[in-house]
Chains A and B, each alone.
Chain A
Amino acid sequence: MITSKETPAIDIRDLRVDYGNFVAVDDLTLSVPSGEVFGLVGPNGAGKTSTFRVLTTLMEPTYGDVFLDGVDILEDLESARRIVGYMPDLAPVPSDLKVWEFLDFHAAAYGLGTKLQRRERVAECLEEVALTDQRHSWCKQLSRGQTQRVVLAKTLLHRPRVMILDEPASGLDPLARRDLRQALRRLADKGATVFVSSHILSELAEMCSSLCVMNKGRLLASGTAEQVRQQLGSTERTLTATLLGRQDEAAAWLQSQSGVHRLQLAGEQVIFDFTGSDDAQAGLMEGLIAQGLRLRAFEEKRSSFEDILVEVAETNRRS
């Protein structure tokens, strides 16, 4: 199928998934351009897995449209399934097969050429996930991280244009996580679109070019990591000005500035919270210097993504 460059790889419109009276995904509209590593983050029960199951055609939505590379997945199931590669949460593997058998079975099921061609492709994918040495191991004997990688290799086999990875990094050690990050970037560079979920925002921020945040089935924010931070209202940061003397004067001046609150003195330092743009923050530094104060250091500390997510989840729980 030929798709124009403008056609988003994933186009979700007004998606809704109900389980009886429970709304798992509520009015989700999202567009992911081709060649991106796009992250979906949210706490447990946010609706990530339901969204992914719809995207992979494993579940019919209650309402809404989903297009993968321009293909309406509700109308053309077969084509959609050729486009997509899916790695589910907990990455199950059959207990009665060896690693290469598992991969060869999928390669055969996708009709990937002759036996020899399939063998080469399996070897490539195993190398991609650094598991060549486990080729003859039983799937059931692999560690959690190795299992994740085997399933990732399975997902890569037929070179899907859209890859849906549900919590792929869970259970991986830092080294494997770095390898995964690099592998995903390589795939994106080759034109594949990777839609990846996690409940750990910082993990996604590292590997994704853009991301979105869901909670209780609703989309809260989307864009680059910084845009998400802003959309979630977390422009607040803690600033620390270290001065050589005249701290009281500095505190008095800062107190009069807009966006400054919760100010306190600690020896040489004036510590305060600030809400405002980066321009306004730079203006504060200029102002302090213009007052003739001797600024030795100016330090910024932002809330972590995890803090933001916890805050969002807490707010929702309270409401």
Chain B
Amino acid sequence: MSSETSVPPPTRHVMWKPWANPIFRRFCRSRLRPRSLGIWLLVTVMIAGFLFAFSDVLGSKRFSLSLEDSARAPLIPLLWFQAFILFVLGTAQVSGGITAERDEGVIDYQRLIPMSPLSKVFGYVFGLPIREYLLVFATLPFTAWSLWKGNVEMQAWLPLYTVFFTSTLLYHFTGLVTGTVVKNRRWAFLVSIGLVFCLYTIIPQLEKVGLVFFKYLTMAPVYSECLPGLLPKPVGAVVSVGQQLAPSAKFFNLDFPEAVFTVFSQGGLVLTFVIMLRRRWKRAESHLLGKLWATLFFIWIQILLLGNALPLVDSGSLFPSRGFARYAHLDFNWVPNRMEAVGMSGLYGLVTLVLLFILGGMITPSPEYQIRGWRRARKQGRRSLPFLSDAATGSWFVALMAIAGAVGWYLFTQALVESRWYPGHVVPLSTLGYFIAIMLAAGLGFQVLLETRGGRAIGLATILIGVAPVMIGAVMFAIGEWLYTTASWVIGASPLSLPFYAAGSLLSLSNLPDGVERAVPRAFHFWLLVTSLVTVWLITQLRAARKQMAQRILEDET
């Protein structure tokens, strides 16, 4: 053996030097090999060059635009191309890359290396898509040329590219979280692409039915805001008419530029993802979110939902039937339909409930995790589990979230129903009691079932109790009117239908169609009672099981 070098004692990597991050450098090395990078760069520059030349020439020659206007023409195609590279290819690379590390088994090495969890997270999130960043960088000269020659003002492109970057981060973090959580490589890839697709196309659609906040998860609001300044002037002028009528981002009584609010919303989500990944890198078995953070995150979402929605009630912009008219007060006789408010209230309740399920599931410990927690607590001489530890019951926090969700739902409903659009209608305080009962019964029932019986039971319950009744009821509705009453009772069995049934039964605005106007309220009260009783029974079961577990571990110790 050779004589050994005198290596200084190992030093810990400093997080604020990303260029020195070993994980980042490792991917720079492997993903920027000259041969394959050269081919990718060639293809990218070719496409970008084509988009640039084609748009420019088309504008100047075919449409006889001025030099300045034709120079602006390539900006939007180039932006879409850059978005494709970073949003689609980059996200796929992040989720695929992290799952490949796990598949190959080398992720265990990375767990053991003495870098802080945050350094590891940043190393991966910037290192894995490094080639895609470089490819986008290669297209920037074309963009820069267009901006310069097109005399595009900084106010037009800076917010757009800022949000482009935060959106990229959001999607890459989505990919990294998915790749970290989902075990199977192929599934991780599909789920991350599916999630990005949902984040970008499906979830923002909720904006049209009153949940305005969700549109800020995309570039769309800033894109619309900045578009007139990027387009050739004749086209931009037309678009800017619409833009001037479009409201800026409203948050309670505050007005924000769309870009600022988008960065704020996306930043919150990115921060949450960072916390999830940090926890997982610190300890692979950790919950994705701690109890306190999950509760705060839930409340934060509620505040954003309300903050964005409530200012739009009085103008009528929040209502789906306003449609395009939300941007232009053209029809002075327009009034919202009564059932619109009922449906929007129900949807708000459903989204809140689903969020409660997701976050409740995240903070619920498995039986093995509880045993570990109890044993560690005993070892430390404690007689109970630390309240905020992962092993402690999640029920208290789910209850807190349920109450916060119910309050948010109530405020939203009250703002809609008691608005100027529905004179004479009020939402009594008793409705808040019902909303709390629904959130507690369904949300807590879900969480307690998960904690006592585990993931398999909750999966089965979701299919048989959550989804199947809705499907069966829908089929019965389709068969004929004579089955409406039965169908109402069947659908009501699903806790997911409770928010809609509550809105339909409790709001004075409600104008249920013939055949269900009596069945829905009855089914609602009956199934709410049943769900509540089952939840109470599950809670007693859980308490007994936890007491037994604590006792058994204490006996083991002694």
User: B residues within 8 Å of A by Cβ?
Assistant: 1-2, 4-5, 7-8, 10-13, 22-23, 25-26, 29-31, 101, 104-106, 108-115, 282-285, 368, 371-372, 375-376, 379, 556
In the complex, identify which listed stretch (A119-127, A212-220, A221-229, A256-264) lies at the interface while the others stay far away. A119-127
Chain A residues 47-85 with CB under 8 Å of chain B are 56-63, 65, 74, 77-78, 81-82, 84
Contacts of A65 in B (CB 8 A): 379
Out of B5, B112, B285, B375, which one reaches A56, CB within 8 Å? B112
Contacts of A88 in B (CB 8 A): 105, 108
Out of A56, A58, A113, which one reaches B7, CB within 8 Å? A113
A96, B30: Cβ atoms closer than 8 Å: yes
25 example contacts (A-B, Cβ-Cβ < 8 A) are as follows A18-B371, A57-B112, A58-B108, A58-B284, A59-B285, A81-B113, A82-B10, A88-B105, A88-B108, A92-B104, A92-B106, A93-B104, A94-B101, A97-B30, A105-B26, A109-B110, A111-B114, A112-B7, A112-B10, A113-B7, A113-B8, A117-B7, A121-B5, A124-B4, A127-B1
Out of B2, B30, B101, which one reaches A124, CB within 8 Å? B2
User: A residues within 8 Å of B by Cβ?
Assistant: 18-20, 56-63, 65, 74, 77-78, 81-82, 84, 86, 88, 90, 92-97, 101, 105-106, 108-113, 117, 120-121, 123-124, 127-128, 154, 158-159, 186
Which residue of A is nearest B25, CB measured? A108
Contacts of B105 in A (CB 8 A): 88, 90, 92
If A60-B283, A113-B7, A117-B7 touch, whether A95 touches B114 (CB-CB below 8 Å) is no
Which residue of B is nearest A53, CB measured? B108
Give the total number of A-B pairs whose CB atoms are below 8 A apart: 109
User: How far is A263 from B7 in the complex, measured between Cα atoms in Å?
Assistant: 64
B10, A110: Cβ atoms closer than 8 Å: yes
Which residue of B is nearest A112, CB measured? B7
User: How far is A95 from B30 in the complex, measured between Cα atoms in Å?
Assistant: 10
User: How far is A148 from B11 in the complex, measured between Cα atoms in Å?
Assistant: 27
User: How far is A127 from B5 in the complex, measured between Cα atoms in Å?
Assistant: 13
User: How far is A57 from B109 in the complex, measured between Cα atoms in Å?
Assistant: 11
User: How far is A181 from B283 in the complex, measured between Cα atoms in Å?
Assistant: 34
Contacts of B368 in A (CB 8 A): 18-20, 62
A108, B22: Cβ atoms closer than 8 Å: yes
B29, A58: Cβ atoms closer than 8 Å: no
Closest-CB distance, B150 to chain A (whole angstroms):
41
If A60-B372, A105-B26 touch, whether A110 touches B5 (CB-CB below 8 Å) is no
A111, B108: Cβ atoms closer than 8 Å: no
Which residue of B is nearest A79, CB measured? B114
B8, A58: Cβ atoms closer than 8 Å: no
Which residue of B is nearest A120, CB measured? B5
Which residue of A is nearest B4, CB measured? A124
B12, A111: Cβ atoms closer than 8 Å: yes
If A58-B284, A117-B7 touch, whether A109 touches B113 (CB-CB below 8 Å) is yes
B285, A94: Cβ atoms closer than 8 Å: no
B22, A60: Cβ atoms closer than 8 Å: no
A82, B114: Cβ atoms closer than 8 Å: yes
User: How far is A38 from B74 in the complex, measured between Cα atoms in Å?
Assistant: 68
If A60-B285, A127-B1 touch, whether A95 touches B8 (CB-CB below 8 Å) is no
Closest-CB distance, A198 to chain B (whole angstroms):
19
Contacts of B285 in A (CB 8 A): 59-60
A109, B106: Cβ atoms closer than 8 Å: no
Closest-CB distance, B372 to chain A (whole angstroms):
6
Closest-CB distance, B454 to chain A (whole angstroms):
9
User: How far is A45 from B511 in the complex, measured between Cα atoms in Å?
Assistant: 64
Closest-CB distance, B52 to chain A (whole angstroms):
32
Q: Which of B104, B106, B285 has the most CB of A within 10 A?
A: B106
User: How far is A108 from B30 in the complex, measured between Cα atoms in Å?
Assistant: 15
Q: Which of B5, B372, B376 has the most CB of A within 10 A?
A: B5
If A60-B372, A101-B30, A105-B22 touch, whether A110 touches B114 (CB-CB below 8 Å) is yes
User: How far is A206 from B8 in the complex, measured between Cα atoms in Å?
Assistant: 35
Which residue of B is nearest A89, CB measured? B105
Closest-CB distance, B349 to chain A (whole angstroms):
36
B5, A84: Cβ atoms closer than 8 Å: no
Contacts of B375 in A (CB 8 A): 62-63
